[in-house]
């Protein structure tokens, strides 16, 4: 439930920010008449996302055996890749308000209303389709109640986005996205590892070493799982949120560790590239006046 909450909080908050920024821009530029296109694009995007969810669930129910394992493995890996691209895309949108307002301004023409409608529609649909894939991949890895977590995440993001739009809540959206990005990186690493596990079960990828370790407690005589078992209450939460596995294969461990190291490396490179650079010459020039006043 926690993983579903974080996913939908992040996805819905992104959509809420986009809608809020566009609406604020239209109000500020005295183009309130186009707010109806914002509402229409939002409704159409939500409806299309629900249709995508229905079709995806209907399609995924037709598999069994190795085909089911193959489908689940591919879904998990695609979900991990989408989460990764989403995280890095948001890192590049450090001035997201200006970027969105530029997109809206480009539609100043006779079809301005249609442009605003489709900008909102595509933005909502993108977040919706991503959410469908993420939640489906999560459902394959854990027996948690993903629906409740998803609904709570959506409700929290909508309320938070509304108060942010009104200006009555002062929070650092950047810090929220940074915190959720860290959680999503761990979640995506788990998805990638579990995806490899499913592909191994389907016979697509060799196993090599089946269990690097096995720390799962013994199952009870009544068939119940202990709390810390990967299928137990606590273990299933860790499994859904961080990709915990009590008895992973060598390739699963390798994929999990490699994913985290590569993503953290790229994150560090991107973070450093956005920092302002000051040369020694610039620093001396800036302190030149101060140096003259010193005896």
Q: Greater confidence, 192 or 146? A: 192
CA angle 129, 203, 56 (to 5 degrees): 20
User: pLDDT tens for residues 69-98?
Assistant: 999 999 999 999 998 988 888 776 656 667
Percent of the chain beyond pLDDT 90? 28
What pLDDT shows up at residue 267?
86
What pLDDT shows up at residue 277?
57
pTM for the full model?
Answer: 0.77
For 196-235, letters b (16+ CB in 10 Å) and e give: bbbbbbbeebeeeeeeeeeebeeeeeeeebeeebbebeeb
Give the rounded distance of the alpha carbon of 284 from its chain centre: 43
User: pLDDT tens for residues 194-236?
Assistant: 999 999 999 999 988 989 999 888 888 888 888 888 888 888 8
Q: Which of 7-21, 102-116, 174-188, 274-288 has the weakest average pLDDT? A: 274-288
Q: How confident is the model at residue 294 (pLDDT cuts 50, 70, 90)?
A: very low
Instruction: Say yes or no to pLDDT of 178 above 60.
Output: yes
> CA–CA separation, 10 vs 235, rounded Å?
24
Domain locations in the chain as residue ranges: 2-282
Q: How confident is the model at residue 62 (pLDDT cuts 50, 70, 90)?
A: confident
Q: Which of 6-20, 80-94, 274-288 has the weakest average pLDDT? A: 274-288
Nearest C-alpha neighbor of 50 from the set 117, 132, 118 = 132
107 SS3 class: coil
What pLDDT shows up at residue 96?
66
């Amino acid at each position: 439930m926690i993983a579903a909450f974080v996913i939908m909080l992040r996805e819905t908050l992104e959509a809420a920010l986009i809608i809020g920024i566009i609406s604020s821009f239209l109000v500020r530029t005295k183009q309130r008449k186009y707010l109806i296109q914002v509402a229409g694009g939002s409704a159409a995007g939500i409806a299309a996302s629900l249709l995508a969810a229905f079709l995806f669930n209907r399609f995924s129910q037709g598999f069994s055996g190795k085909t089911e394992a193959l489908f689940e493995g591919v879904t998990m890996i695609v979900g991990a890749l989408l989460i990764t691209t989403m995280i890095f895309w948001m890192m590049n949108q450090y001035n997201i308000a200006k970027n969105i307002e530029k997109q809206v301004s480009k539609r100043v023409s006779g079809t301005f209303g249609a442009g605003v409608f489709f900008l909102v529609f595509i933005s909502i649909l993108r977040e919706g389709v991503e959410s469908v894939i993420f939640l489906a991949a999560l459902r394959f890895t854990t027996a948690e109640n993903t629906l409740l977590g998803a609904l709570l995440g959506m409700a929290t993001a909508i309320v938070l986005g509304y108060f942010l739009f009104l200006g009555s809540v002062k929070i650092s959206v950047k810090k929220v996205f940074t915190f959720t990005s860290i959680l999503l990186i761990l979640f995506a690493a788990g998805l990638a590892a579990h995806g490899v596990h499913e592909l191994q079960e389907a016979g697509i990828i060799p196993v090599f070493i089946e269990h690097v370790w096995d720390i799962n407690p013994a199952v009870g005589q009544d068939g119940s799982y202990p709390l810390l078992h990967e299928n137990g209450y606590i273990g299933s939460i860790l499994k859904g949120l961080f990709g915990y596995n009590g008895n992973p294969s060598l390739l699963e461990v390798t994929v999990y560790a490699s994913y985290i190291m590569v993503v953290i490396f790229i994150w560090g490179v991107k973070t450093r590239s956005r920092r302002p650079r000051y040369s020694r010459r610039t620093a001396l020039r800036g302190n030149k006046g101060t140096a003259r006043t010193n005896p």
